[in-house]
Each structure stands twice: as C-alpha cells, then as structure tokens.
Chains A and B, each alone.
Chain A
Amino acid sequence: MRKSALTLAVFAGTIASGFANANQEVMKLTQDSANWAIWGGNYAGQRYSELNQINTGNAKKLQVAWTFSTGVLRGHEGGPLVFGDTLYIHTPFPNKVFSINLADQTINWKYEPKQNPDTIPVMCCDTVNRGLAYADGKIFLQQADTTLVALDSKTGKLIWSVKNGDPKKGETNTNAPIVVKDKVYTGISGGEFGVRGFVAAYNIKDGSLAWKCYSMGPDSDMCVDPNQTTAMGKPIGKDSSLKTWKGDQWKIGGGTTWGWFSYDADLNLIYYGSGNPSTWNPVVRPGDNKWSMTIMARDADSGMAKWFYQMTPHDEWDYDGINEMILADIDVKGQKRQALVHFDRNGFGYTMDRVTGELLVAEKFDPAVNWATHVDMTTGRPQVVAKYSTGQGGEDVNTKNICPAALGSKDQQPAAFSPRTGLFYVPTNHVCMDYEPFRVEYVAGQPYVGATLSMFPAGKVTGDGTNNLGNFIAWDASSGKIKWSISEPFSAWSGALATAGDIVAYGTLEGYLKVVDAKSGKELYKFKTASGIIGNVNTWEYNGKQYIGVLSGVGGWAGIGMAAGLEGDTEGLGAVGAYKALAKHTQLGGVLTVFVLPDGA
C-alpha cells in the first residue's frame, strides 16, 4: 500500500514536471544560441542571437551554403525553426511543413494538410503563414482554415488537431502560435470580414481549449477584471468595451489577433496586439471601439488581462495594432526600465513599462506620419489632425494625403533588438494614401471593408523629391529617435535579425538579403535570392558553423512573363485570382536560402 502510494506520487510528479518542462524545454532551447527555437529567437521577441562567427569584418565573404525549394507559390512569411540537427520550415496555403536533416539537407518528413480551397477567398491579404512553434516533442502549425495541429516532431505524425474558428464566417489564420508552459496560444484573422478577435489557449497535451479571451464585448468574454485590469494606470471599469460601441456592433467588431506573441517568464505575462475595428468606415461605428488597436498584457495561465493600452481609439485608417511586442530592459530617459517596444502601423514607436502598462515614449518612427501631431502622454490619446480624419471627412468624401497608408508605417514583419547597441532595427513602409469610406452591410463570410483607398510614395506628400516606398531604420526607443535610415526603393517587408557579430540582416522585395553594420547601417553584403523576400531572417549554428537563413517567395520568378494581373482581377481586397500565370510552373516556389562563411574566412 505504502509502495503503491509512493509510485503514484512519483507518477504524479512526472506528469507535473512534464507540464513544467514544456516551458523549460523551450526556454532552455532558446537560451542556447546554436538554436532558433521560437519565432523571435527568444520569448522576448528580440530576434537577437549571441552568435558572432559572422561579423562586420567578414560578412562580405558570405556564400550560399544550400537552398531548399518549398514547391509552394505565393508569399512566404516567417522563418525556420532550428534546434539540434533539424530544421523545420512551413509554407503558405496549403501549409506544408518540412523537417530537414541539417547533416545532408534531406527531408526527414513532410506534412501536408488537406484544406478546403474555399478558405483562400476569405483571406484578406494573401495566403501567408508566419511559422511554427515547438514544445514537448510537438511541432505546432496554425493552418489557414483555422485548424491548429500538433505534429510529432520526430515523425510528422498528426497527434491532435482542433478547430479554432470557422472560415464560413470569414475566420482564417495566418499567425505563428507560441507555447508557454503547458499551453499553446493562437489568434484569429478576418477583421476585413467582421470577425470578433480573440486569443485562445489550448492544452498542448490533447488540444483541449483552456481559455478564450475576446478583444471586445462583455467583461466576461474579454477575461478582464474591471477593478484590477488597468489602462493608463487606472482600472478600466465595468463594461469598458460595450460602452464604446453603438448597440451590438462589437459582435462583428474586428480587433483580430493575427500578429506575434511575446512572453515574460518573470512576470508570467503574454503580450500581443489587437487589430482594426470593423468596418473600415468609421462613420457607422461611433466611439473608441475598445479594445481594438490595443496592446494587451495577459496572465499566461488564466488569460486574465493585466493591462491594456489602446493606441488608435476609433480607428479611421485601418492601422491594425498587431505588430510584434519586443521585450527589452533598457534605459528610458535615464532610468532602467522593463520595457516593451512596439512599432505600430499608425507610425508611432511606443516604449511602455511592460509591468504596469505605463506609457513612456511615443514618437513617430517615420517623419512623414501626419494623421496625428503627437500622442498626449497624460491621456495616451493621439492628437488627430482634422483634415486627415476620414471620419470627420465623412462618407463618400475622399480624404487625401494621409500618412501612413493603411498598410501602416510598418506591417507585421518583426523588428530586431541588439542589447549590444541598445538599438531596434525596423523594416518600414514609406507610403501614404487617399481614403474614402462608404457604407456596407455585414454579411457573414463576405468582405466588410467599406473604404476605397489609393496609395503612393510618401515623397508625394512630404514634397522632398523622394520616390522610395520603404526604409530600414535603427531606432533609439529611449529617446524615440531614428539613429540611421537606409532608403529602400520598395517597402521593407522582411523580418530583421541582429547578432553579437554587430551585424543586422534583412531582406528586400527585389530579393536581396542585405547584411549591414549594426552601428552605422553601412552595407556589408548583399545577395539576390530567387524571389522577393517577405520572410524573417533567422540564424543558428550547426557543427561549429554559423548559418543565416531566409525564405524568399512573393510570386514571380526571373524570365517568366508576369504582369498578367496588371489590368485584371487582383484589384481590391481578397486573395483571389492572382498567380494564374504561375500555376503551371509548379516546380517553382518559395526558396529557403542558407548562408555561411567559406572555410578559412
């Protein structure tokens, strides 16, 4: 009897430690710089590596070590996960996953889900996928059709799957999940279809739902405590969301959650942002539309909200707040802070205290930004310029020369932070727009946009004679100032990497992987990959060598007659019709290009 009790206790202990290990295991993997075991390199989302074999002195000697073609067309976002002797890479729809043996680059296993192609037309912005998560011997993939799957990392065998949403209502997924302790978190896309955003936590053991917290609606739906959850240092109070919507508009209110998740283990908080309120026509949805466009800090175990900060109350421009949250301990105005740094689509770079949600810095990271003069540091509200307010302009009125455009001064592609320079490295858009709201009726599964846009280079508004559509900048989050800026002909849509070799790497839409000096921005190396780059640059070490890898693939390959959609069916929203010209070239697809220094370099 005694013996069996002891056995039971040991057994229970194993289970308990099994749960804790899932977290510790990933934590441990991310602490070894040979690995790239999570989308951001570490839980803080810094996209920084201690590896320094490739550095400012030798980066010019980089060569292509090997490549891997995914065979899938369309835009390739995200980047590979690497640990041990294995690399895991994902693709856009149909969301294949490959496990690759680093020793000889052979495929260990391949997973290809069967997904209903009806999912494609309800994806607003191309059929991208931002990557995988790992924990507990499982690879987690969030499929486009909202199915979240756990695959055996050794065999690729499906362990469990769960439906996270309903594509018939316009719900889809593009985000990379993240694992903390015994749960895997995921969000939802579909703000252009009147979806109500949420974050869901599933138990990694069996895929059962642990909790689900909405971005808007009744307090009980949002996992908030009206007295404990704060915004700008004050309790949010009862019905904080309901009061800011007309009637029951919150039910189709948007605030989707298709970005990245970060985690602070000491505070046990997860951080992410919510997207735009639906529709894009602000006239029909008076109020602040809480909590769309909000930075959210939630308890990792319960989902209970610690603090919110709404960046763009009553959005009038589609400035989704979903971009990554980078956690870094930095000096802010002479004081050591546990900071959260976020480059929002609305063009402001925010530095927050990630413990309390206190707003520390909010400055424009593109000087062209003009929709607001500044952010009031007492109320946290942007001071909107009347002539750029599409709501004040009204329905069927074209508000002109708003900066930035709806794509934002920065989209989802994550920035990097180097603790060595204390700087943030940010890929940006330099695009402005004309915006005309119009009235639409909500129909489930149909686009619920309600605005016509026209976009152009920011130089047209600033009048500085420039024509570039992007910049790659180094940002000081302490003072809110640009340290240096590289002009890019096209928007910079690739996630950045910073390393202890004092290099920073990013990709361009022409297809270049660029390596620059972290201190000065001076270009050290560039190589043209097979297609435009919208993937994230990751780094790892294998057999004593440092590698840098990035996915390229935006559709379009050298020598093949493209420009087919010039006059045709790709106008407007909805990822339909494009790539017809490429459909017959099925051997073409995204390419993972891996770089290394030659021997003796």
Chain B
Amino acid sequence: MRLRVLLVVVLSVIPRLGLANDFPTQARVEFVLGCMEDHGGQSYDTLYPCVCVIDKIAERMTYKEYEHADTMSVMITTPGERGGAFRDAPGARKEVRNLRRIREEAERVCSAGQKKSG
C-alpha cells in the first residue's frame, strides 16, 4: 500500500516531457494481446515487440488522446450513414492518420513490422 502511494507520487512528479505513460494496465494488456494476434499469435517473438510498441505509443500520447483517436479509427470504418459523422468530422482523418503514423513508427523502432498473418 505504501509502495503504491509512493509510486503514485513519483509518477505524478515526472515532468510531462516524454509523458508519464498513463495507459491503464488493462489497455496495455489488451493492446499487446491484440497486437500478438495480429503478428502471428502468442509467443515471445511477438510479445516483446508488441510490449515495445505500446510503450512507444504511450510515450507520445496521453491515454485520453490515444483512446479518442483509436475510437475514431474504428468509427471511421463503420459502414453507411453512421460512419459518415466520423469520416466528415473536422480533424478526424488527421487524428486517425496521426495515430497510424505513431504506431507505424513505433513498430519500426520495435522491429514489429513483419506481420506473419496480419
């Protein structure tokens, strides 16, 4: 308990420079599981690069920014009239492209570029 309090204090004083990686554990685990699946399944060969990718993304965005862009990237592909509101929203495509770019750069740095199935 004391350790957790200490950690919270330490994390909260880390300057915003480089961002404090505020991604919840659940979000990181889900990302890594999905990413491994996307790269050929669960193995250490996919685990390490995927952990690296989410850490690199978290260095460049707050979780709130990531969550918004990630949701937008899903909604933009919703077929029909419904996806229209998101495809047309000002800045939406830019936001999604930005997330994609950050992710692709992270994948390059983390040697996670070679997809086996995805």
Contacts and interface: CB of A to CB of B under 8 A. Distances in A.
B18 interface: no
Contacts of A166: none
Given A559-B34, A584-B117, A578 B79 contact: yes
A246 B37 CA distance: 56
Contacts of B70: 556, 558
Interface stretch (A179-187, A535-543, A560-568): A560-568
Interface string B27-66: 1001111111110000000000010001000000000000
B108 interface: no
B74 interface: yes
A573 B81 contact: yes
A407 interface: yes
B80 A469 contact: no
Given A510-B67, A559-B38, A532 B79 contact: no
Main SS of the interface on chain B? helix
B96 A407 contact: no
Given A559-B30, A566-B96, A490 B84 contact: no
A585 interface: yes
Interface stretch (A36-44, A220-228, A454-462, A592-600): A454-462
Contact of A489 (B37, B68, B73): B68
A10 B92 CA distance: 68
A444 interface: no
Contacts of A411: 82
B85 A563 contact: no
B79 A576 contact: yes
A411 B71 CA distance: 19
A125 B90 CA distance: 22
A456 B80 contact: no
A566 B71 contact: no
A574 interface: yes
A48 B117 CA distance: 46
A566 B74 CA distance: 10
A563 B76 contact: yes
B75 interface: yes
Contacts of B81: 124-125, 318, 406-407, 453, 573
Contacts of A556: 70, 73-74, 77
19 contacts: A125-B79, A125-B81, A407-B82, A457-B89, A489-B68, A490-B71, A509-B71, A510-B68, A558-B70, A559-B32, A559-B33, A562-B73, A563-B96, A566-B73, A570-B76, A570-B77, A573-B81, A574-B79, A585-B38
What 8 A-B pairs are tightest by C-beta distance, nearest first? A559-B34, A556-B74, A559-B35, A565-B77, A558-B30, A559-B31, A563-B73, A575-B79
Given A411-B82, A509-B71, A563-B96, 18 more contacts: A406-B81, A407-B81, A469-B89, A509-B75, A510-B71, A558-B30, A558-B31, A559-B30, A560-B38, A562-B77, A564-B77, A565-B76, A566-B100, A570-B79, A570-B80, A574-B80, A576-B79, A585-B37
